[in-house]
C-alpha cells in the first residue's frame, strides 16, 4: 500500500475503486507544492496499477474538500518565473487527472475553493455534499486561477457565468453548482461517499476500453490541436477491434451480463 505525507491512498481490492483523500485537515486540505506533487505521484501509481479501475478524490474531515492553495507558500514566491513554473506544474498534474482513461470522480465534501475548485473540475465528474461550497476567489489576493480554472470553469458553466464567478470571487452553494452544471449531483453529506462509490461502480460494469475512449474523445472537443470528430471515429474503429466489443455484443444477444476484460 502506497503511503504519502499529505494523502491517504486506499484501494478496495474487491471493487477496484481507489480513494485518494487529501489529508491536511488542520489546513483545510489546502494545496501546497508537496501535496500537488503527491497527487501527481498517486495518479501515476493508479494508472500503472491494473488493480485500480476507478478513482475517487475527496478531502479529509467534514469542512473542506480543498479550501484553496497554501497562502503562506504563495506569499513566499519571489519571482514571476517561479510563479509561472508553479502554475505549469499544477496544470500538468491536473491535466493528468483530466486525461486519465480510468474514471475519476470528485466527492466534494465541503469547501472547494481556488485550487480546490480547480482540482474538482479536473475530475471527470463532481458529486457534491449539500454542505459543499465552490468558488474561485483568487482576485481577492491579486491573483487569477493558475491550475486550469479559467479554462475548465468556462467549459463547465459558460463564459458569462465563469467570468462573473472569477471576477466577483463569489462563493456558491452546492445547489447553485448543480444548476450551473459545475456539480453532477448533490446529496446529503452523510450519503456522499456511498453515492459516489455506487455511481463509479455502475461505470465500472462497462467496457474499460470504451470508457477510456469516451473520456479521450470528449476531451478532444476542447483541445485545439485535435480534431474531435476524427478522434471519435478512430476510437470507434478501435472498439470494433477489441475483445470487449465481441464480448459485449455476444452478451447482449445471449441476454446475459457482459464479462469485460479491457482488451
For the chain, 263 residues long, give each residue's pLDDT as a single digit of tens.
678 999 999 999 999 999 999 999 999 999 999 999 999 999 999 999 999 999 999 999 989 999 998 888 888 887 899 989 999 999 999 999 999 999 999 999 999 999 999 999 999 999 999 999 999 999 999 999 999 999 999 999 999 999 999 999 999 999 999 999 999 999 999 999 999 999 999 999 999 999 999 999 999 999 989 999 999 999 999 999 999 999 999 999 999 999 998 88
Residue 75: per-residue pLDDT: 81
HSE value, Cβ hemisphere, 13 Å, CA-based, for 17: 20
- Which of the residues are catalytic? 118, 138
Residue 47: per-residue pLDDT: 97
HSE value, Cβ hemisphere, 13 Å, CA-based, for 37: 7
Residue 74: per-residue pLDDT: 82
Cα 123 to Cα 85: distance, rounded to the nearest angstrom: 22
CATH 3.90.226.10 maps onto the chain at: 7-203
Closest CA to 194 of 19, 61, 1: 19
Closest CA to 57 of 100, 1, 13, 26: 100
pTM for the whole structure: 0.96
The answer to whether 52 touches 98, Cβ cutoff 8 Å, is no
Was domain 208-253 assigned CATH 1.10.12? yes
CATH 1.10.12 maps onto the chain at: 208-253
Residue 1: per-residue pLDDT: 63
Residue 19: per-residue pLDDT: 98
Angle, CA of 255, 256 and 258, to the nearest 5°: 125
Closest CA to 108 of 94, 96, 119: 119
CATH class assigned to 7-203: alpha beta
Pairing of strands 133-135, 171-173: antiparallel
- 187, β-bridge pairs: 129
Cα 201 to Cα 11: distance, rounded to the nearest angstrom: 14
Amino acid at each position: 500500500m502506497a503511503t504519502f505525507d499529505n494523502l491517504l491512498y486506499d484501494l478496495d481490492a474487491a471493487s477496484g475503486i481507489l480513494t485518494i483523500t487529501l489529508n491536511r485537515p488542520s489546513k483545510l486540505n489546502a494545496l501546497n507544492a508537496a501535496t500537488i506533487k503527491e497527487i501527481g505521484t498517486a495518479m501515476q501509481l493508479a494508472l500503472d496499477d491494473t488493480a485500480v479501475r476507478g478513482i475517487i478524490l475527496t478531502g479529509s474531515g467534514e469542512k473542506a474538500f480543498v479550501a484553496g492553495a497554501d497562502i503562506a507558500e504563495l506569499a513566499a514566491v519571489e519571482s514571476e518565473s517561479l510563479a509561472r513554473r508553479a502554475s505549469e506544474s499544477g496544470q500538468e498534474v491536473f491535466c493528468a487527472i483530466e486525461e486519465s482513461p480510468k474514471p475519476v470522480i470528485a466527492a466534494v465534501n465541503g469547501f472547494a475553493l481556488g485550487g480546490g475548485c480547480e482540482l474538482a473540475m479536473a475530475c471527470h465528474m463532481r458529486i457534491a455534499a449539500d454542505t459543499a461550497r465552490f468558488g474561485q476567489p483568487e482576485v481577492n489576493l491579486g491573483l487569477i486561477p493558475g491550475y486550469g480554472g479559467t479554462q475548465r470553469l468556462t467549459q463547465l458553466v459558460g463564459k458569462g457565468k465563469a467570468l462573473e464567478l472569477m471576477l466577483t470571487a463569489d462563493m456558491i452553494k452546492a445547489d447553485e453548482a448543480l444548476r450551473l452544471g459545475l456539480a453532477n449531483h448533490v446529496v446529503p453529506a452523510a450519503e456522499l461517499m456511498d453515492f459516489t462509490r455506487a455511481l463509479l461502480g455502475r461505470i465500472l460494469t462497462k467496457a474499460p476500453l470504451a470508457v477510456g475512449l469516451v473520456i479521450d474523445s470528449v476531451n478532444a472537443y476542447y483541445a485545439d490541436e485535435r480534431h474531435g470528430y476524427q478522434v471519435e471515429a478512430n476510437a470507434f474503429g478501435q472498439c470494433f477491434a477489441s475483445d470487449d466489443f465481441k464480448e459485449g455484443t455476444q452478451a447482449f444477444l445471449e441476454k446475459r451480463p457482459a464479462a469485460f476484460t479491457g482488451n
